Amino acid sequence: MDFSIAVHGGAGIILRSDLSKEQELLYRTGLKDALEAGYAILEKGGSALDAAEAAMCTIENEPVFNAGRGSVFTHEGRHEMDACIMDGYTMLAGAVTCVSNVRNPVKLARSIMENSEHVFLSGKGAEEFAHKMNLEFAPDEYFHTEYRLKQLAAIRDSNRTILDHMKVTDGDKKFGTGGAVCKDIHGNIAAATSTGGMTNKRYNRIGDTPIIGAGTYANNNTCAVSCTGHGEYFIRAVVAYDVSCLMEYKGLSLEEAARIVVNDKLVRMSGEGGLVAVDRFGNITMPFNSDGMYRGYMKSDGSSYIGIFKDELL
């Protein structure tokens, strides 16, 4: 059977004028590395779940993306990371929020799914569980990047948050989340998502990423979805699950269901962002209503694509 993988690395106001050639290359290379990590597993007959986790770990390990090592700083100068993973075959899921020093939060999310009776753990308790599972931790310095420190310094004394990369301006809106969706040769699908949240966030704010049905969802009968955007809107719209519901209950195609949710429903709510999704046949869609989204896919038929800007049409 055919297999496929799609990934994203965030969405928002992403313009050519904002990225140097060097920065653009870093993003494209990061997306390519994540795709290849997952594809290598799928090509050998591995599971969609393993491929999604591998792709997500690659993104978490790449400092240019706001997940894992590249996570933004909170107001207190710390990192609070969220992640989620879901298996479309078993409908099992694991999620984690507000954790620090866990090298790969998506691995913790999967461990919660497979080694506990729970779905969602947070903060110190989640970190305690990670230690129990012998997951790898890293010191604060591993997650500290000069670029993220400059972002925090620019707005720390204000009441503002910014939603990710590049320029720190009043119009800066970039939603930094990494995600992957996969379909394997066995016909199973899976989704994984990870984020560092918002620069200068307070009060242990949680977005859509770790919430099943909002930022992440997978069901073998319909699709696997990983979202990136202004999390509050994605939570209210239950975006990932809504795509699945439109397919299951109205019989819509993956592309049409995702289009309605991202370009109609979210737009009416003033919600900005996008998603990557794959259905049980391996079809992929990557809609977004923002100026850009770091995105790409690879399929077993040899086709592939990597894009950043809005005018890079498939």
Q: Known catalytic residues?
A: 177
* Spatial contact of 284 and 35, defined as CB atoms under 8 Å apart: no
Q: What is the DSSP letter of 111?
A: H
Sign of CA dihedral 115, 120, 124, 127: positive
217 φ, ψ to 5°? -165, 150
Nearest partner of 254 among 282, 273, 235, 227, judged by Cα: 282
- Write out the DSSP string of 211-251: SBTTTEEE-TTSEEEEEEE-HHHHHHHTHHHHHHHHHHHH-
Distance of CA 176 to the CA centre of its chain: 8
CA distance to 124, 293, 307, per residue, from 312 (Å): 42, 10, 6
Structure tokens at 212: 């099943």
Helix axes 105-115, 123-132, angle to 10 degrees: 80
- The β-bridge relationship of strands 120-122 and 93-99 is parallel
- Write out the DSSP string of 150-172: HHHHHHTTSS--B-SSS--STT-
Within 102-149, strands assigned E span: 120-122
